[in-house]
Amino acid sequence: MSEKPELTCRKCNIPFHYPLQRNWIGRNVLFFLPIRVFFCARCLISRQLWLTNTEYRKYKRVI
Ligand SMILES: [Zn+2]
């Protein structure tokens, strides 16, 4: 079985450090949008990715 690729930050290209909860609006208003938030430890910024469950399954889980 081949290793799944890691989700990486588009700017610095290192794998994301950990997932974050979406903000209140994201969870309660835009919950139907397949947006996930991950924290990049190099940029020190949380990035929102448009990522459906199907897409996310192609990648290694960010823990
Ligand atoms: Zn980064």
Taking only the tens place, the pLDDT of each residue in 16-54 is: 999 999 999 999 999 999 999 999 999 999 999 999 999
State residue 2's pLDDT score. 73
Please compute Rg for the chain using Cα positions: 12
- CATH top class, domain 1-63: mainly beta
pLDDT band at 1; cut points 50, 70, 90: low
CA of 44 to the centre of ligand 1 (A): 7
State residue 9's pLDDT score. 96
CA of 37 to the centre of ligand 1 (A): 13
Residue 5 pLDDT > 70, yes or no? yes
State residue 19's pLDDT score. 96
Can you give the residue ranges of every domain in the chain? 1-63
Place of tokens 């938030």: 37
